[in-house]
């Protein structure tokens, strides 16, 4: 059963039009980032904000190496992303591998899709990573707090949160 997404935003009017569209050159950028994360001297710097999720297709067995921005939160890793085809290969109870510019590590993963979790954890990510917030169309109030209406709008447009617990 698919969750019904309401048209009205319970947090008010968003301050932006929503997340930026995926660029046509995104695959090229991803290839470049994956390369940077393999270079010993650069990987330590790049790995402070970016990691690679190593996901295996559940039907095809095809490997997907996806560079993503992450935030550390309560001992876990949070990744906010649009629901892409590779995300459906992440299943609770099936470990994945993740690398932070070094060797791969095993992690337990959960994809959070409910509005409350996505809004709450999007705010956490936006506070930590202003570039992620901008890319995902999240403005801030005068005090610098992420706009809940923007986070909700991102959820309406398909944002999910992947929560990783590295073993």
Q: Tell me the whole-structure pTM to 2 decimals.
A: 0.80
**What mean pLDDT do residues 138-160 have?**
90
pLDDT at 78: 98
**What mean pLDDT do residues 4-16 have?**
77
Task: Please say if the pLDDT value at position 2 is more than 80.
Answer: no
With 0-12 / 13-18 / 19 or more C-beta atoms within 10 angstroms meaning exposed / middle / buried, residue 107 is buried
Sheet holding 96-99, edge to edge: 63-69, 50-56, 96-99, 105-112, 159-166, 76-82, 71-73
pLDDT at 120: 97
What is the Cα–Cα distance from 80 to 121, expressed in whole angstroms?
8
Residue 140: which pLDDT band, with cuts at 50, 70 and 90?
Answer: confident
């Amino acid at each position: 059963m698919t969750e019904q997404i309401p048209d009205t935003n319970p947090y008010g009017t968003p301050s932006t039009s929503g997340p930026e569209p995926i660029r046509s050159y995104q695959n090229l950028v991803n290839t470049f980032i994956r390369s940077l994360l393999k270079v010993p001297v650069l990987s330590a710097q790049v790995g402070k904000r970016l990691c690679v999720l190593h996901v295996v297709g559940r039907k095809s067995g095809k490997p997907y190496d996806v560079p993503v921005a992450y935030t550390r939160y309560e001992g876990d890793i949070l990744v906010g992303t649009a629901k892409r085809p590779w995300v459906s290969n992440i299943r609770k109870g099936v470990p994945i591998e993740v690398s932070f510019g070094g060797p791969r590590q095993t992690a337990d993963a959960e994809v959070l899709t409910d509005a409350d979790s996505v809004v709450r954890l999007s705010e956490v990510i936006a506070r930590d990573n202003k570039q992620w917030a901008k890319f995902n169309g999240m403005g801030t109030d005068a005090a610098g707090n992420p706009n809940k209406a923007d986070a909700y709008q991102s959820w309406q447009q398909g944002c999910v949160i992947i929560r990783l617990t590295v073993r």
